[in-house]
Amino acid sequence: MPMTIAEKILAHASGQASISPGDLAVVDVETAVLMDMTFLPEGWREVLSLHDPSKVVIVFDHLVPAPTIQAATAHATGRRFAKQYGIERLHDVGLDQGIAHAVVADRGYAIPGTVLVNGDSHTCAAGAFNCAARGVGGPDMLFAITTGKAWFRVGETIRYDFAGALRPGVSAKDIFLHIAGTHGAHVNQNVEYGGPGMHTISMNGRRTLAAMGAELSAEFTIFEPDDALADYMRTVNPTAQTRPTMPDPDCLYRERRAIDLGLLEPLIALPDGIVNNSVPVGQVEGQRIDQAFVGSCANGTLDDLAVVAHVVNGRKVAKGTRLIVTPGTQSIYLAALKAGYVETITAAGGIVTPATCGACVGGHLGALGPDEICLTASTRNFKGRMGDPSAKIYMGSPATCAASALTGVITHPGTFFAGDRA
């Protein structure tokens, strides 16, 4: 039976010849990722055995550097757990640390054609690497690390075919905002990306799109494999036993949609929601902001920091406005430091923080106060997400956030890319 990418990966991982929407797939898990939140005192339960410690990764990310005694206790518990079971892939505070999904990307832990699970909803970010990756709940994570298995109900697949190339100043975040605004939620569905224009989207751009699949309520968000992916994997994890998986030519999609990348423009998601809630930047241009934030697993890549540095270079952040930039990993921070991006952003009046989920989850390093207004290039903008429930959160691309930080109001980024070529 012809299958989509998600169906073929799940079928292989479950040992079945074929799988169809509606089937229940019990699959072998290649990689299970635990975060520092897993080890918080109020939720941690002792684990008596692990299926295979070599398939487990631990990343401290939401609570780094530890802002509370509770967080520090969680880190200590995670370190003891790693030592107890000989888990070598522990990403503790230091150069190896970062947001879990960004560490997975940096290290090539998402193996094309395999299954990866994590207790965080944005685990789908690993779909950029042709991996069936999904966030699961606590009991399912316990099941995965102790048995090596996970289970999923197979959903139907929506296919997006890209054509053309993005114009300067338009990014992968704008592609997502277009999809969310035009096509709405994808509940219980898989999202598959491909088409002749896919090669024009960088691996970092694909990571942004894949991570934001969680905001579409998609099950799996997966890109086709191509030469860019193969080159990337050879660089970050040359010994990985990959299984690049393409859809069958005659597979059945719930729907197939085409997107001409060259027609897209910078978009903004209005506060308190993303689905069916995005508008062109021009419709809200001039809206005052208190904070602009660029970071998270969706937009903390080196490409994103480069865009911010390009926009603010030689300029100053508006008085009364905060620009906070958070790299996805400490490795990205170091690369941005060497490239001069950190100096450029800091000289403009921005703040570059250590790698952490930080302001995205309203935890620390950028939480919002009462009635403040933020423009964010992160993952979510619902009420109370980044701090006080009375704060309003708009969402846009890193370019739009950087441009708006300079003026203190939501600003179209186009003028900052006027001399650039597509």
pLDDT tens for residues 234-280? 999 999 999 999 999 999 999 999 999 999 999 999 999 999 999 99
pLDDT at 69: 95
Q: What is the domain partition of the chain in residue ranges?
A: 5-261, 267-417
Domains 5-261 and 267-417 share a fold: yes
Question: What is the pTM for the complete model shown?
Answer: 0.96
The region, left, alpha or beta by phi > 0 then psi within -120 to 50, assigned to residue 358 is: left
Q: What fold, for 267-417?
A: Aconitase; domain 3 (3.30.499)
Q: Looking at residue 149, what DSSP letter applies?
A: E
User: Listing from the earlier edge strand, what are the strands of the sheet with 392-395?
Assistant: 278-280, 267-269, 392-395, 373-377, 291-294, 322-325, 351-352
CB neighbours of residue 413 within 10 Å: 26
- Measured distance CA(123)–CA(113) in Å, rounded: 15
If 0-12 CB within 10 Å is exposed, 13-18 middle and 19+ buried, where does residue 367 land?
Answer: middle
Write down the pLDDT at residue 51: 97
- Within the chain, which residues score under 70 in pLDDT? 419-422
pLDDT attached to residue 420? 67
Q: What is the pLDDT of residue 421?
A: 57
Domain 5-261, classified CATH 1.20.120.140, yes or no: no
Taking Cα atoms as reference points, which of 192, 172, 195, 276 lies closest to residue 9? 192
Distance CA 278, CA 275 (A): 7
